[in-house]
Structure 1
Amino acid sequence: MFHISKEFHFSASHQLTSLPPNHQCARQHGHNYIVVVELSAKELDALGFVRDYHDLAPLKRYIDESFDHRHLNDVLGHEKVTAECLARHFYEWCKARLPQTTAVRVSETPKTWAEYRP
């Protein structure tokens, strides 16, 4: 298998209201998110690519227009806005447009990652 990945960045706030009130993440707070999308293929296309990186430009636009400097609870319309939920959301968005999508990772901090890989 061949695998490629590309990294995207955005800043946003969220609030995990289902946590106990004394939990720090129960308060509204923000992160500098990193999203990494992975695409895979058994064979390369005629140009020698899994997929041209340029084909990921719509994901960058989607992130910039819909997520960057937003409150994620409002964007996604629910209270469970964890890195895990974001990874699945971005995976489903990508998979619908880029069938080679095999995984999405989301980081909220330099030391933490969540991944969705069906």
Structure 2
Amino acid sequence: MYRITKEFHFSASHQLTHLPDDHQCARLHGHNYIVIVELAGAKLNSDGFVRDYHELAPLKNYIDGTFDHRHLNDVMDGPSTAENMARHFYDWCAARWPETTAVRISETPKTWAEYRP
């Protein structure tokens, strides 16, 4: 199996209002997010790619236009946890690129969430 990944970055604020008031994530705060999309295929296309990285530009445009420097509570359905965001980006990518196998999201250098069906 061939696997490729591409990394995207954005900054945004959010607040997990369903958590107790004394939980740090219940307060308004922000992160510098990293999104990594993974695509895989058993065979390469005629150009020798799983998919040309350039074809993933719509994800950058979507992130920049919808998420970057936004308040995630205003753009996400449900809590804006890293886990929910990983699933959201996975669904968005898989609808466009059937080779999508996983999406990972980082909120901090030490934390990652992944959705992989």
Q: Settle same-fold status: TM greater than 0.5.
A: yes
1:69 corresponds to which residue? 69
3-state SS in 2 of match to 1:16:
coil
- Name which of structure 1's ranges 69-78 and 58-67 shifts more when overlaid on structure 2: 69-78
3-state SS in 2 of match to 1:11:
strand
- Are 1:105 and 2:82 an aligned pair? no
Counterpart of 2:61, as a letter, is: R
For 1:94 and 1:74, how far apart are their aligned partners in 2? 21
Aligned-pair CA distance for 1:71: 0.3
Moved over 3 A (4+): none
Q: Residues 10-47 of structure 1, C-alpha deviation per residue, up to 9 Å, x if partnerless?
A: 00001001111001100110000000000000000000
1:7 corresponds to which residue? 7
3-state SS in 2 of match to 1:102:
strand
1:18-97 matched pairs, under 5 angstroms: 18-78=18-78, 80-97=79-96
Q: Which structure 2 residue ranges, 5 or more long, are not aligned?
A: none
Alignment RMSD (CA, Å): 0.6
Q: Which structure 1 residue ranges, 5 or more long, are not aligned?
A: none
Aligned-pair CA distance for 1:76: 1.1
- For normalisation by structure 1, the TM-score amounts to 0.98
For 2:77 and 2:94, how far apart are their aligned partners in 1? 21
- For normalisation by structure 2, the TM-score amounts to 0.99
Aligned-pair CA distance for 1:77: 3.9
1:114 corresponds to which residue? 113
For 1:98 and 1:70, how far apart are their aligned partners in 2? 26
3-state SS in 2 of match to 1:47:
coil
